Amino acid sequence: MTALDRPQPHPRRRAVLTGTLALGAAALLPLAAPGRARAATGPVIADCAAWGARQPSSPVKTLATRPQKIIVHHTADPNSTDYSQAHAFALARSIQAYQMDTEHWIDTGQHFTVSRGAVVMEGRHGSLAALQGGTRQVESAHCTGQNTVAVGIENEGTYTTVEPRSEQYAALVELCAQICRQYGLAAYQIYGHRDFNSTECPGDRLYALLPKLRQDVAARIGGDATPPVWPVLATGNTGERVRTLQLLLNARGAALTADGAYGPATQAAVLAFQNTMHATPDGVAGLQTWNQLAAPARQGDSGVAVEAVQRQLAAHGIATDVDGAFGPGTAASVVRFQTTRSLPADGVVDARTWSRLVA
Ligand SMILES: [Zn+2]
C-alpha cells in the first residue's frame, strides 16, 4: 500500500535512540566530506548515506515535474536537548525505521528533516539529488493529497506550546529559501500540514510562525510572501464561485450538476472529497478543500477544471471561449486577468491565480 492515502504520515514514535547504532564513516567526517552536500549556495544537507539510512524496500519514484509548494511539519517527538549530529542522525534512522517497519512505507516519508540542533538531513532517498537538479521531485509520503506536488520538511520536536529553537528555525529558513531557489517557488508557497489535512501538525506555535517564515524566506529570494486567501462556501451559497467548486470536484471524480447552487449534493461531494484527502470533514469548502482542489491549470490542459477557469474569466468580463481546452486564447485571457490583479502574468492558473478568480 502506498502512503498516499495515509492520514498521519508522521505518527508519534518510540523515543529516539541515541548513540547506540554504528554510524557510517561518512557521518564522522567534516562537513565538506562526501556524504554531505551543499546545494548551490544553500545549507549543508546530510544525505541518506551520511546518517546511515537503510535502502528503500522498493524503488523510490522520481517525478519529472517541479514541486508546487513546501509543506512544514513537526515530528511530534519530545523537544530533545541533545543538539548533536549523532542525535540528529539517530532521529533520521528512527523515523525511517518506524515508517518502513510499522507503516510499511518504502522509505522515509518526507524529503528533508531539520533537527533541534539545526542539522539538515535528506529524508527519502533521491530528494537531495532532485533538489540539486531543480527540475524533478521524489514522490513522497508526508501529506495526503500532496505527495506528488509538495516538498515535505519535518522539524524535530512538538510545537504546540513552544516555538522551535532559534537555531532550528534559522536552518528551516535557509532550507526553505534553497528549495524555493532551486525549484523556482515563491515564499507564499510555503504551507503547514494542517492547511491540507485534519491534523494539529505542525503545532500551533510553529504554524503561527509560518507568516514570519514566508517573510524571512522572501527576504532572501525576493517575491511575494502572502499566501492565497480562499472564500468559505457552504450550503445555501450560490454563484460562479460555487460553480467553480463544483467543476473542480467533478475534475476529481464527482458527478455534480454545475449549477452554481451549493445544495445537499454539493455538500455531500465536498464531504466525500474531504474524507478522501483526510481533510476536516465538515462539508464546508474552506482553506483545506481549496488548497487540495486548486491544482495548476496551464496551456495544453483540458477538461472541467479548464472550463472552470474559462467561466471565471468570462464572469470577470474577459471574453473567453468556454470549451474546456486551455489554448493560446485562454492563456491570453489569464494573462489579462493576472495583469489586472497585479499577479505575475505568466498565463498559468496557479493557486494564487485560482484564489483571485474565486475571491
Ligand atoms: Zn505533518
Query: What is d(CA 82, CA 163) in angstroms, rounded to the nearest whole number?
Result: 17
Whether residue 356 has pLDDT greater than 50 = yes
List the alpha helices (DSSP H) in 164-286. Answer: 166-183, 204-208, 210-221, 240-251, 264-276
The answer to whether residue 6 is domain-embedded is no
Alpha carbon of 248 to ligand 1 centroid (Å):
25
Residues 102 and 204 in one domain: yes
The answer to whether residue 171 is domain-embedded is yes
Alpha carbon of 50 to ligand 1 centroid (Å):
24
pLDDT for position 304? 97
* Cell, residue 307: 472550463
* Cell, residue 262: 451549493
Alpha carbon of 232 to ligand 1 centroid (Å):
23
Whether residue 143 has pLDDT greater than 90 = yes
Residue finishing a domain among 164, 194, 221 = 221
Chain segment 276-308, per-residue pLDDT in tens = 999 999 999 999 999 999 999 999 999 999 999
Number of domains in the chain: 2
Whole-number percent of the chain with pLDDT over 90? 88
pLDDT for position 13? 53
Q: How confident is the model at residue 5 (pLDDT cuts 50, 70, 90)?
A: very low
**Cβ–Cβ < 8 Å for 157, 20:** no
Domain containing residue 138: CATH number: 3.40.80.10
* Cell, residue 279: 481533510
Residues 188 and 328 in one domain: no
pLDDT for position 41? 67
Residues 185 and 121 in one domain: yes
Chain segment 75-97, per-residue pLDDT in tens = 999 999 999 999 999 999 999 99
Alpha carbon of 219 to ligand 1 centroid (Å):
25
SS3 state of residue 252: coil
The answer to whether residue 269 is domain-embedded is yes
Query: What is d(CA 19, CA 16) in angstroms, rounded to the nearest whole number?
Result: 10
Alpha carbon of 204 to ligand 1 centroid (Å):
12
Alpha carbon of 175 to ligand 1 centroid (Å):
17
Whether residue 191 has pLDDT greater than 60 = yes
Alpha carbon of 292 to ligand 1 centroid (Å):
15
Q: Treating both helix axes as pointing N-terminal to C-terminal, what angle do 328-340 and 304-315 enclose, rounded to 10 degrees?
A: 50
The answer to whether residue 277 is domain-embedded is yes
Alpha carbon of 94 to ligand 1 centroid (Å):
16
Residues β-bridged to residue 349: 297
Alpha carbon of 201 to ligand 1 centroid (Å):
5
Residue finishing a domain among 221, 251, 275 = 221
The answer to whether residue 233 is domain-embedded is no
User: What are the DSSP calls for 109-159, one per residue?
Assistant: SSSEEE-TT--EEE-STTHHHHHHHSS-EE---SSTT-TTTEEEEEESS--
Query: What is d(CA 280, CA 289) in angstroms, rounded to the nearest whole number?
Result: 9
Residue 208, C-beta contacts closer than 8 angstroms, at least 6 positions apart: none
The answer to whether residue 155 is domain-embedded is yes
pLDDT for position 240? 97
Q: What is the mean pLDDT of the chain?
A: 91
Alpha carbon of 111 to ligand 1 centroid (Å):
12
Residues 78 and 111 in one domain: yes
Domain limits for position 245:
240-357
Whether residue 16 has pLDDT greater than 60 = no
The residue type found at 134 is G
Residues 53 and 197 in one domain: yes
Q: How confident is the model at residue 27 (pLDDT cuts 50, 70, 90)?
A: very low
Q: How confident is the model at residue 42 (pLDDT cuts 50, 70, 90)?
A: confident
Chain segment 217-272, per-residue pLDDT in tens = 999 999 999 999 999 999 999 999 999 999 999 999 999 999 999 999 999 999 99
* Cell, residue 247: 467543476
CA 279 to chain centre: 14
Alpha carbon of 9 to ligand 1 centroid (Å):
7
The residue type found at 168 is Q
Alpha carbon of 203 to ligand 1 centroid (Å):
9
Alpha carbon of 51 to ligand 1 centroid (Å):
22
In terms of Cα–Cα distance, which of 188, 154, 215, 190 is closest to 70? 190
Q: How confident is the model at residue 36 (pLDDT cuts 50, 70, 90)?
A: low
In terms of Cα–Cα distance, which of 241, 245, 251, 279 is closest to 265? 245
pLDDT for position 34? 44
Whether residue 35 has pLDDT greater than 80 = no
Strand order in the sheet with 44-46: 36-38, 44-46, 120-122, 112-114, 150-155, 69-74, 190-192
Domain containing residue 300: CATH number: 1.10.101.10
Residue finishing a domain among 221, 248, 264 = 221
In terms of residues, how long is the chain?
359
Residues 210 and 331 in one domain: no
Residues 73 and 44 in one domain: yes
Alpha carbon of 288 to ligand 1 centroid (Å):
14
The residue type found at 151 is V
Residues 246 and 139 in one domain: no
